[in-house]
Structure 1
Amino acid sequence: MGFALSTALHTSFDDALARTREALAEQGFGVLTEIDMQATLKAKLGEDMEQYVILGACNPPLAHRAVEIDRQIGLLLPCNVVVRADPGADGDVLVEAMDPQVLVDVSGEAELRPVADEVAAKLRAAIDSL
C-alpha cells in the first residue's frame, strides 16, 4: 500500500504552493505549520536541496472527531502536505499528502476508518483540483 496522494504540476514552485493552500482551504483545511526544508537545511547544515515545503494542514471538525475516538491520534496530526520541486523533471512541482488511511493502519483503531475516509476524500479533492 502506498502512503501518499499526489499529483505533478508543470508550474512555478510559488504558484504550486499558493494553489495548494487555496485548494486545502476550499476543502476546509487551515495550514497550522509551514516548514521550509530548503531554507532550514541550508541554515542548519549548510546543505543545498530543491525547493521543499511541508504544510501542516488541519480540518478542525475532522481532527476533533479523530481525537474523540483516540486521544493518541494527535501524535499523527496535522496532515502533512508536501510541495516540492521535482529534481528529476525541470519545471515540475510535486504535491503530496499522506493518505489518512495510514492513521488507521498505524493506530489499529477501526473506528477511525470513517474519519480517515472523509479526510482522504477532501485531500484527494484538493489535490485533484490543482
Structure 2
Amino acid sequence: DFRKYQILGACSPKFAHKAIEAEDKIGTMLPCNVILQELENGEIEVAAINASASMQAVENSKVGEVAKVISAKLQKVIAAL
C-alpha cells in the first residue's frame, strides 16, 4: 500500500520551445512535473522543482531567462491553491 501520489505533466510547449531553441539538449532536463501527494495528516501537498535552480547547471542565460518565468508562474499557481 502506498499513499495517494500523482505526477502531473505540466510542460508549456511555448516555453519548452524557447528553451530548446536556446539549448538543443535541454529537453533532457525540462522541469515539467508537478506532484500531488497525500500527507499522513490527510492534507494534499503540491510540489514542483524550482526551474531556475535546476537550470543553473546549463550555464546559458537564455535558458535562465525562460526558467525564471516558469518558476514565477509555477509559484503563483501553487500559492493560489
Stretches of structure 1 that go unaligned for 5 or more consecutive residues are 1-47
1:75 maps to 2:28: yes
The alpha carbon displacement at 1:78 in A equals: 5.3
Question: What RMSD over aligned residues (CA atoms) do the two structures have, in Å?
Answer: 1.4
Q: Quick check: 1:53 aligned with 2:14?
A: no
Count of equivalent residues: 81
Greater RCO between the two (CA within 8 Å, min separation 6)?
Answer: 1
Return the structure number with greater strand share. Answer: 1
The aligned amino acid for 1:84 is Q
Q: What corresponds to 1:86 in structure 2?
A: 39
Q: Does the 8 Å contact 2:51/2:71 carry over to 1?
A: yes
Distance in 1 (alpha carbons) for counterparts of 2:79 and 2:38: 18
Q: Which amino acid aligns with 2:61?
A: A
Query: Highest CA radius of gyration, 1 or 2?
Result: 1
Gaps of 5+ in 2: none
CA distance in 2, matches of 1:92, 1:106: 33
d(CA) in 1 for partners of 2:55, 2:18: 13
Tell me how far apart the structure 2 counterparts of residues 98 and 60 of structure 1 sit (CA, whole Å).
18
Aligned to 1:63: 16
Tell me, yes or no, if structure 1 residue 110 matches structure 2 residue 64. no
8 Å CA contact 1:67, 1:73 repeated in 2: yes
Percent sequence identity is 36
